[in-house]
Amino acid sequence: MPRITPARARAQRERILDAALTCFAREGFHAATMQDIVAESGLSPGAIYGYFKGKTDVVMAIASERHAMERRRMEHALTATDIEASLVRLVEGFVLSLRDPQEKRWRRLAVQLWAESLSNPRLRREALGGVTQAIELLSPMIRKAQREGRWPKRLDPESAARVMIAILQGISLQLAWDDNIDIASFASALRIIIDPPAV
């Protein structure tokens, strides 16, 4: 039997993760089964279990890939020349993207995983890792703004970073409850709060 190529293996793995994300967002993390993922993916059970031992392994892989993608988004935002431009990029990358059905699908799952992480140590470590990563990336940007006199020196950078993260977590939770939230208006309000115009 011919060996599967690395490219095909990657494609199959992504197909499984995409199918799982669809099932988790539609059915809920607890209600969705590995059989649902098999049906959604169109692959055989053997193909799926060749990559993942079970549902928790699948969702851990989804979360890990999301954190890697979010790291790239933040690193791109932080290449801007000043904090105001960086913040605009962060709003565009993390908030305005919530208009995308695929992004909404992930955020709906994320809310479920936050609840599950309270009793699942593996998921809790992954969730905390995502928060820690964001704090470590955002804090230097805030310190730079303080050195340049753009943000108050009395502001604790790590706490300010947590506020930024909490804004995204909060709107993600609200969006899971209410799909009719006007994300563009939310993003506009956030920009004004971040960088209020002269009155």
pLDDT tens digits for 8-44?
889 999 999 999 999 998 888 889 999 999 999 999 9
Whether 199 is covered by a domain: the verdict is: no
Residue 101 lies in a domain: yes
Residues 44 and 87 in one domain: no
Give the CATH number, domain containing residue 14. 1.10.10.60
What is the DSSP secondary structure assignment for residue 73, as one 8-state letter? H
Q: Are residues 48 and 131 in the same domain?
A: no
Band of pLDDT at residue 1, cut at 50, 70 and 90: very low
Whole-structure pTM value: 0.83
Q: pLDDT exceeding 90 applies to what percent of the chain? A: 67
Q: What are the C-alpha distances in Å from 8 to residues 43, 46, 64, 100?
A: 13, 16, 20, 27
CATH for 165: 1.10.357.10
Instruction: Tell me: do 47 and 85 sit in the same domain.
Output: no
Q: φ, ψ for residue 42 (rounded to 5)? A: 80, 5
In this structure, the answer to whether residues 120 and 103 fall within a common structural domain is: yes
CB 181 within 8 A of CB 171: yes
pLDDT for the residue 12: 92
The domain in which residue 3 lies consists of: 1-53
